[in-house]
Chains A and B, each alone.
Chain A
Amino acid sequence: MSTESHEVHHEEGEHQSMTKGRIIKVALILSAITAVEFIIALILVPKGIVPIHYANPVYIVLTLLKAFYIVAFFMHLKFEKLGLALAIIVPILFIIGLILVLTNESHHWVDLRV
C-alpha cells in the first residue's frame, strides 16, 4: 500500500498529459474512424464506388488505427516508460507469426474441403 502511493506520486507529472480535452479529442477520433467505416460499408461498397477487395484492407488499417488510439491514449501506454511499452508490444510479433502461419496453412485446407 505504501509503495503504491509512493509510485503514484512519482508518476503524477507524466499522467497529467491525459487531460479532459485530450480524452474528448481521442473519443472524437475513434468515433470519426468508425463513421468512416460505416460510410465505406453502407454507401461506397453497395454503390460500387469501392470494390470489396479494396475495402477490406482499408477496414483493417482503420481498425489498427483505432487500436493504436485506444492502447496509446486510453490505456496510457504512450506515457509509460519505453521498457513497459516494448514489453507489451514486442510479444505481439507472436500474433503476427500465427497470422502468417495460419493464412498460409488455410490455402492448403481448400483442397480438403467439399
Chain B
Amino acid sequence: MSTAVSQIDEVKTTPWSGGRSPFNVEYGKIMMWFFLLSDAFTFSSLLISYGALRFSAAVWPAADKVFQSVPGTSIDHGAPLVFVGIMTFILILSSVTMVLAVEAGHRNSRKEVVTWMILTVIGGFMFLGCQALEWNHLHHEGFWWGSTPSAEALKEFFNGGTAAAQHLTAQEFANLFFTITGFHGFHVFTGVIINIIITVNVLMGTYDKRGSYLMVEKVGLYWHFVDLVWVFVFTFFYLV
C-alpha cells in the first residue's frame, strides 16, 4: 500500500501524463492542422460528389477536348494539358519557395524569409491569373453555372452520346468545374492575402521581436494545403 502512494507522487514524464502538450507543437499550429483537416473534408465532399455524378453518367465531356487550348495565346486547339501543366508547375514552385521561407525562418534570417515570401506571393498571383484566363476561355465557349454551349458546339467536347445526355452532363460538368476550381481559387486568393500580411509583418520585424518565425510556418501549412488540393483537382478534372 505504501508503495502505491509513492508511485502517485512520482513526477511522470511520458508525453501523455499531462503538464505539457503531448504533440509538442504550439497551440496555433495544432489548430491550423485541425482547420486544414476540416477543409480537407469540405474539398473531399465536393470531389466525391463530382465522382459520384460522373460515375452515374452515360457520357461525360472528354478532358482532352474541353481543355485543349492555351488561353492568352493563339493556340486554340490540339494542346491538351499544356496550360494546366503550366498552372500546376507554378503552384508546385510557389510551394517550394514557401517551404524555403519556412526554412529561412528557422535560421531567423529575415532577409531570406522576405525574398522567399515575395516569390511565393508572385507565384500565387500568377496562378490566379492563369485561372482567370481559363475561366474566361470556358465562359466564352458557353460553359457557366446554369449554362452550356449550344447542342451543335457540345458535340465537339464528347466522344459520342445522345444530344439530351450531352446537354445534361455538360451542365453538371460546368457546375462542378466552376464550383470546385472556384472554391480552390478562393483558397489561393485568401492564401495570397495572408502571405502578404505575413510578409509585411516580417518586414516590420514583428517575428524578430517575438523571437520566432512560427507564424510563417503556420501560413506555410495553409499554402501547402492549397497545393495539395490542386494536386487532386488536377488529377480528377484534367487527367482522369
B55 — which chain A residues lie within 8 A by C-beta?
103, 106-107, 109
Shortest distance between the CB of B70 and any CB in chain A (Å): 14
Please indicate which of the listed interface residues B37, B57, B224, B239 has the most CB atoms of chain A within 10 Å of its own CB. Answer: B239
Residue A49, interface by CB 8 Å? no
A48-78 interface bits toward B, Cβ cutoff 8 Å, 1 = contact, 0 = none: 0000000010011011001100110111100
Residue B150, interface by CB 8 Å? no
* Size bin of chain B's contact surface: 35 or more
A15 — which chain B residues lie within 8 A by C-beta?
106
Seed contacts A4-B214, A20-B103, A80-B24; 17 additional CB < 8 Å A-B pairs:
A4-B28, A11-B24, A37-B235, A41-B80, A46-B64, A59-B235, A59-B240, A62-B235, A76-B217, A81-B23, A83-B22, A102-B52, A109-B55, A109-B56, A110-B56, A113-B57, A114-B164
14 residue pairs of the A-B complex, CB under 8 angstroms, read A8-B211, A15-B106, A41-B239, A46-B64, A70-B224, A80-B23, A81-B23, A84-B23, A87-B34, A92-B40, A94-B41, A95-B40, A95-B48, A106-B53
| A residues with CB within 8 A of B | 1, 3-5, 7-8, 10-12, 15-16, 18-20, 23-24, 27, 30-31, 34, 37-38, 41-42, 46, 56, 59-60, 62-63, 66-67, 70-71, 73-76, 80-81, 83-84, 87-88, 91-92, 94-95, 98-99, 102-103, 105-107, 109-110, 112-114
